[in-house]
Structure 1
Amino acid sequence: MAEMGGPRLYSCCNCRNHVALHDDIVSKAFQGRNGRSFLFSHAMNISTGPKEDRRYMTGLHTVVDVYCCDCHEVLGWKYIRAYDRRQKYKEGKIILEKSRIVKENW
C-alpha cells in the first residue's frame, strides 16, 4: 500500500518556504512579469508591500507586491481593488509567478 503524502503545495523557489496549496488555485491562465502565473484564493508565509495602482491588460487595479516572509523574494502580487466590475472576482486573491515557486509533495 502506498504511503499517504501531505497536501500538494508550492514553495518559494529561493528558500523552499511553503507559500500556497495546490487546492487553492483559482486559475492557471494568468500572465505575470516573468511569464506564466497562477491565481490563488489564499497564500501563506508571505508579507506584502505598499499599495499602488497598476495598469494591467485587464485594466487598472490596486495591488501590493507579495514576498516570501523568510527570504523576501518577490513572488507576485495581491489584488486589493479592481476598478472594472468584471474584474472584481480578483479582489483579495494572489498571483504567484510560476518561475518564483516550486512544487512540493507531488
Structure 2
Amino acid sequence: MAELIGPRLYSCCNCRNHISLHDDIISKAFQGRNGRAFLFSHAMNVVVGPKEDRHLLTGLHTIADVYCGDCREVLGWKYERAYEASQKYKEGKFILEKSKIVKENW
C-alpha cells in the first residue's frame, strides 16, 4: 500500500513545494532560528543563498540560507563548513525549521 501513496516527505509550509524525504532526516534534535529544527542529508527544490560565517550554538560555521524554490520562503540553512573537528559531520547537510515545513503522505 505504501507504494501507491508514495514516499513520506516534507513540503514548504507556504506553497507545499516538496523539500525533502522523511528518510533523509539525520537528527530531530536541532535548534533553528525560530525553534526546533531537523538535520537533513538532502534537500530538493530549494535555492541556496550566499555563504556567510555565523556563530551558532555549536561554534563558528560557514552557512548559506536555504529558500523554497517556488515561493522563496526561508526554510533554514545549509552547512557549508564547520571549523571545529567535532562538527565536520554537518558539512553539506541542511537544517530545516520544523515551523517552516509540513508532512505529506503520512
TM-score (normalised: structure 1): 0.97
Distance 1:87 1:3, change over 3 A: closer
1:75 is matched with: 75
2:90 is matched with: 90
2:6 is matched with: 6
Q: Distance in 1 between matches of 2:5 and 2:25?
A: 19
Q: Distance in 1 between matches of 2:4 and 2:91?
A: 35
Render the CA deviation track for 1:5-56: whole Å, top value 9, x for unaligned: 1000000000000000000000000000000000000000000111000001
Partner SS for 2:86: helix
What 5-or-longer segments of structure 2 have no aligned partner?
none
2:57 is matched with: 57
How many percent identity over aligned positions? Answer: 79
Q: Aligned letter for 1:45? A: N
Q: Distance in 2 between matches of 1:54 and 1:6?
A: 37
TM-score (normalised: structure 2): 0.97
2:44 is matched with: 44
CA RMSD, Structure 1 to Structure 2 (Å)? 1.3
Equivalenced residue count is: 106
